[in-house]
Each structure stands twice: as structure tokens, then as C-alpha cells.
Amino acid sequence: MPDEDGRGGVTVMMDGSPQSHVDLADPGNLGFEYIAHFAAVIDTLPVGPLAITHIGGAGLTLARYVNAERPGSPQIVLEPNAELTELVRRELPLPRQHRIRVRPVDGLNGISQLAEASADVVVLDAYANGRVPSELSTVEFLTDVCRVLRPSGTFLLNIADEPNKAYLRHVYAGLVTVFGQVAMIGTHEVLKGKRFGNTVAVASRNPLDLPVLRRQVAKSPFPTGLRDEAQLNRQFAGSVAFTTEDSAQSPPPPPVKGWRVR
């Protein structure tokens, strides 16, 4: 349900947790730190429209941002909660002439139905009861995402984890196995393991332009850092990727009062 949040917009709540911040008057007012990190990466990509597939929709915050910053971008949103989509579109209508298409299907099946090399960017931001579904972090699923991406494409993931990063290390191993090139973005306190929080992983088959990414991340309104391949290899040495036979949900979030959005 939408809830006025006192920050120039509304927050979409699901399963008792905040899912999206939407400001109809200013699509660039992104609210949550991890959405700002998604946008920072997208801003480093070549100019012009981008074909983007979103796994998880909620308030369609990032899709609205891309629509505003890159008009004409064809976007597909895989959101199985049709009731939520109907509510969002009624209470928070999309702008005219948008090219955002919401499909009422889950990420696993939705990705399997998409054509090969049909997306410039795939964004994974899907939660059920506050947790990433186990099927969305396996090597098999990541391989299907790679199939959907164009050779130069970028995969972005929002992963919430405990300070010890026990879940994130498995996801990292899968990304390295499938894509090869991986970096991670987060607030300093999350990267340093000081609290539960969101880390944005960036994966590609092509080398990441780390200097450009670092400069863009430095502009973030939140104290933000980037960890490169060498740092991640040291941090997650010996990690094993999830598979369909051996996978898990992300850990449950703390109570809402424990969330520190800013």
C-alpha cells in the first residue's frame, strides 16, 4: 500500500517493509540508497534509450527514473503481484508516452520467456516477505539472465544481507562463475559490515569501467563506496555458488524500526 512519507513522495509498503519511494513530481527523487546506486550505474552507460528488464516492480521507481532520463527506453517489468501493480498504477499513475510494460509473472519464469540478447540491462530487485527468493540466486538462473542480456549488457542486483555477508558471498561466487566481471556498491557502513543492509552488485561479461563507476558513486548523496574484483576476491575467497539443488533465501530483514534508509 502507498504511504505518504514526508520526503516529497510516498513509500510503497509490502509484507510490512518499505519497498519503493515514488515522487510523481520528481522521478529523480529516488529515496532509497540502493535505488540511487542502481541509477548511478545506469548513468554511466552509453547515452540514449536502453532496453531494460526489471525483475520485481513494486512502485516502479527505477523504471520511472529511466523513462525520465532516457525517454523512449523500452522497459519490461516482471512483477507477479498483479494486485500491487493495479494499486500502484491507480494511485501512482505512470507518465504519458512511457514504454514500461508490466508482466504478471515471477522472475524465474519471466526471464525464461524473454528472447536471447534482448536487454541492455537486467535489474534484480525482487523480494517476497522481505527476502530474495531462493530460485533467483542460483547459477542456473544467472545463466538465463546472461542469455537475455546483450554481450555488452549489465546485470544489477539488490542484495540485502547480514553484516557477515554469508548470503552475499554465495551470490558473488555465482556472478563470477557466469559473468566474470563483478563489482559491488554500498554505503560505507554496509560494506564494512556495521549493519544489515543493501549491497548493489554489478556484473558483466565485459570489463567494468571502474574509474567511471567510482567517480559516479562519489556523487551519491549517501556515503558510498565501491569494491572491485581484487577486493571481492579477497573478501569472498573460497565461496561456493548457489545451485537449484542447494540454494537459500536471503536472510530476513530486521524490524521496520531498525531500517536506516538515510
pTM, two decimals, is 0.92
CB atoms within 10 A of CB 26: 12
Separation between Cα atoms, residue 78 and residue 107, nearest integer Å: 6
Is it the case that residue 260 has pLDDT exceeding 70? no
Dump pLDDT digits (tens) for 134-188.
999 999 999 999 999 999 999 999 999 999 999 999 999 999 999 999 999 999 9
| Residue appearing with cell numbers 547515452 | 47
Q: Which amino acid belongs to residue 55?
A: I
Is it the case that residue 130 has pLDDT exceeding 80? yes
- Sequence spans of domains, the chain: 25-246
Closest CA to 182 of 218, 232, 217: 232
Closest CA to 34 of 163, 158, 188: 158
Return the pLDDT at 100: 95
Give the three cell numbers for residue 36.
540511487
Average pLDDT, integer, range 222-240 = 94
Q: Which fold has domain 25-246?
A: Rossmann fold (3.40.50)
Dump pLDDT digits (tens) for 2-50.
445 555 678 877 666 677 788 888 888 888 889 999 999 999 999 999 9
| Residue appearing with cell numbers 546485470 | 155
Return the pLDDT at 4: 53
Helix (H) or strand (E) holding 151: strand 149-161
Dump pLDDT digits (tens) for 65-107.
999 999 999 999 999 999 888 888 898 888 888 999 999 999 9
Task: Answer whether 67's CB lies under 8 Å from 73's CB.
Answer: yes
Is it the case that residue 209 has pLDDT exceeding 90? yes
